[in-house]
Amino acid sequence: MMWRVISAHALHFRSWDDEFVVYNSLSGDTHLLGAAAAHVLSELQRTPAEAVTLAGSLAPVLQTSFDEELVLETERLLAELDRLALIERSRF
């Protein structure tokens, strides 16, 4: 299943230390996100991707091994970002 950000220009990021605040100019909502979520969002902003690919890019960022558990965690993260209307399923 492919994911993408809700719109290329809708998200505004600012970060301090390891945390990020994101403003979604479509929904008007503001979110506080950790490094993993912010990384996933910025990857998806470049190009749509699947959970597996994203987990692969997350492993070095989180300094953890690329295994099934990480993929599951990534899927959960994606579901959460979907619920927050920051990302959506992509057809391509």
Partner 1 sequence: MNSQPLVLRAFRQPGSLRSLSLEDWDLLLRQARHANLLARLHALLDEHGLLEQVPQQPREHLEWSHAIAERHTQAIRWEVGRIQKAMAEVGVPIILLKGAAYVMANLPLAQGRLFSDIDIMVPKESLNAVEAALMLHGWAATHHDAYDQRYYRAWMHELPPMRHVKRSTVIDVHHAILPETASLHPDPAKLRAAACALDGHDGLRVFAPSDMVLHSAAHLFHDGEMENGLRDLIDIHSLLCHFGGLPMFWPDIVERARELELTRPLFYALRYAALILHTPIPADIEEAASRTGRPNRLMLAFMDSLFTRALLPVHPSCSDGLSSSARWMLYVRANWLRMPPLLLARHLFHKAFISPKAE
Partner 2 sequence: MNISALTLPELGFRLKTAGIFLQTGSFVTHLRTSIASVAEGIGLLYADYPLVEQAGFADFHVSLACPRTLRRWFKPQVLFLFDGRPTFKPLPLDQAFPMLEWGLNWCVSSHANRYLIIHAAVVEKGGHAAILPAPPGSGKSTLCAALVCRGWRLLSDELALVRVSDGRIIPLPRPISLKNESIDIIRHYEPDAVFGRKVSDTMKGTVAHMRAPAESIVQAMETARPAWVIFPRYQAGAATRLEALPRSRAFMRVADNAFNYSLLGVRGFETLAGLIDASLCYDFSYSVLDEAIEKFAALKPPAP
Q: Residues in the site for partner 1, rule: CB under 8 A?
A: 25-28
Torsion angle, alpha carbons of 5, 45, 71, 73, to 10: -60
Task: Verify binding: residue 16, partner 2, rule CB under 8 A.
Answer: yes
Q: Which parts of the chain fold into alpha helices (H)? A: 35-46, 51-62, 68-83
Interactions with partner 2, residue window 27-46 (CB under 8 A):
28, 30, 32
Rounded CA separation 16/82 (Å): 24
Binder to partner 2 among 2, 4, 21, 35 (CB under 8 A)?
21
- Residue ranges in contact with partner 2 by CB under 8 A: 12, 14-17, 19-21, 23, 25, 28, 30, 32
